[in-house]
Structure 1
Amino acid sequence: MSDTAKHSVSVAGVVVDDSQRVLLVQRRDNGHWEPPGGVLELNETVEDGVRREVEEETGVSVEVARLTGVYKNVKRGIVALVFRCKPISGSARPTEESSNVEWLDLADALSRMDEAYAVRVSDAYQDVPAIRAHDGVQLLTRL
């Protein structure tokens, strides 16, 4: 069926250390603060994609713990799968994709991000996965 909508799938890792700090990146392309993530490649598992994206953007290797939310950017047709992760090795550092990489307490982290990304981080501190839609900046539904 040629009218079937096409979606892109992305993955992101909300990396939380033993002090409950979260690892955020400031993207080089737009200057926005977000949890590390990106497009899932066709030949990789979801968990491998999360590990790859987090390490590429932060220099930190992670263990993928659990799914914390599913988010759809309705303007761009992107479905994001977000996972809580635990750091296992490496040091946070800027990369080709990230101009800044920082461990932040939750309140500081949330204050730096647009609502559509801040909710991904706050949802990762909850026990039940969330399902939400946004326009790239603001939430469209609140569940």
Structure 2
Amino acid sequence: MTATPYQQMIFLNLPVDDLDASKAFFTALGYSINAQFSDENAASVVISDTIVAMLMTKPFYATFTDKEIADARKTSEVLICLSAESREKVDELVDRAVAAGGTASDKVQDPGFMYGRSFDDLDGHTWEVVWMDPAAIQG
């Protein structure tokens, strides 16, 4: 019997101003909230089987760090990049983010073998969405 390889997960812990508004934003993008790991201080947004965004109220987030919490509207703390299965799926997700109150970047990456756009969520966190041609990835 062969053991199933361990699937490492990533948990993005993001401070938010308004937890309910942020939950509504990410739900509008098509993601679900895992109620088992959500309460009045945090919401567990399931992006995929291996990616979870933990949206945390700023006071709760502050209990995990002694550092000042960055204002993502003014400083770049991190660029979060998600893959997409096609160019159309890139546009679809960014367009849904804008419709839900996010802000799209005017920059489009399109060197031919890949296509990408980005948006800022309600708290200014930047999310990039990128499609890469499978033939280009294979070499």
TM-score w.r.t. the length of structure 2 is 0.33
Instruction: Write 1 or 2 for the structure with the bigger share of strand.
Output: 1
Q: Which has the larger radius of gyration?
A: 2
TM-score w.r.t. the length of structure 1 is 0.32
